[in-house]
Amino acid sequence: MINLKHQVMKKETLKKQVYEYLREEIITGGIAPGERLIEEKIAKKIQVSRSPIREAIRMLEKDGLVIMNKRGGVTVFNPDMENFQSLYECRVELEPAAAYYAAQRITKKQIEELRKQLFCSDTKSYELKEILNMNTKFHEGIVQASRNPFLIKMIGEIRGINSLYRMAILKRDVLRIKSAAEEHLKIFEAIINGDGEKAREYMKEHIVSDYNYYTSIYRERE
């Protein structure tokens, strides 16, 4: 729960805080897939007016995290295999390319920032939210290091929905956290060594692994 009632802040900042709060709730499962978002209920809970909530919901729609229903109302996106397949097809082409260019263009400062986002395979050292946050920043850091504005824009547009699927994978499989940590290290080492081909190869393998894990989870649910 957050309380913004007594804080003096610009409208833009308030909208962003509400957006970040709702985004985290959706990604971490605090607001369940398929659940309806009711502005009045949210306003009462976090003690803000409905206007910034409405604006934050529009931002979430752009992220693909909520669906505006034709008959009115807003519901949280409910992940399914068809959408994950489409997401995978984008990621497996775009992110390896970003890793390739990052290996050629990354700065010393970006290397150090990327290093901070490496998590070890000892899952007891972290909370799940922390792992998701580090995981997200690792991938985003590589994309930014590519210094390709078109790649950055395209990958940025699927960032929100990608985080939703990542959480679904990490929540269900501790072994995936361990293997992801090892895969991240391989990608990182290839990038700092300036080996674009290896960085591309390892990133592709990493995304294929994500696909295989989610596919197995989906089959279990069916």
pLDDT at residue 9, as a whole number: 46
Rounded to whole angstroms, the Cα distance separating 88 from 210 reads 9
Rounded to whole angstroms, the Cα distance separating 67 from 147 reads 32
Rounded to whole angstroms, the Cα distance separating 138 from 115 reads 8
CATH topology of domain 81-221: Four Helix Bundle (Hemerythrin (Met), subunit A) (1.20.120)
Tell me where in the chain the CATH 1.10.10.10 domain(s) lie. 11-76
The second-level CATH assignment, the architecture, of 11-76 is Orthogonal Bundle (1.10)
How confident is the prediction along the chain (222 residues), in pLDDT tens digits per residue? 455 544 434 556 888 999 999 998 988 778 888 899 999 999 999 999 999 999 999 999 988 899 998 877 899 988 788 888 999 999 999 999 999 999 999 999 999 999 999 987 665 666 777 888 888 899 999 999 999 999 999 999 898 888 888 777 777 666 788 889 999 999 999 999 999 999 999 999 999 998 998 888 777 665
The owner of tokens 């369940």 is 32
Beta carbons within 8 Å of 51's beta carbon, 6+ residues apart: none
Rounded to whole angstroms, the Cα distance separating 162 from 156 reads 10
Tell me where in the chain the CATH 1.20.120.530 domain(s) lie. 81-221
| 3-class SS letters over 132-144 | HHHHHHHHHHHHH
pLDDT at residue 161, as a whole number: 87
Q: Which two tokens stand for residue 15?
A: 């909208």
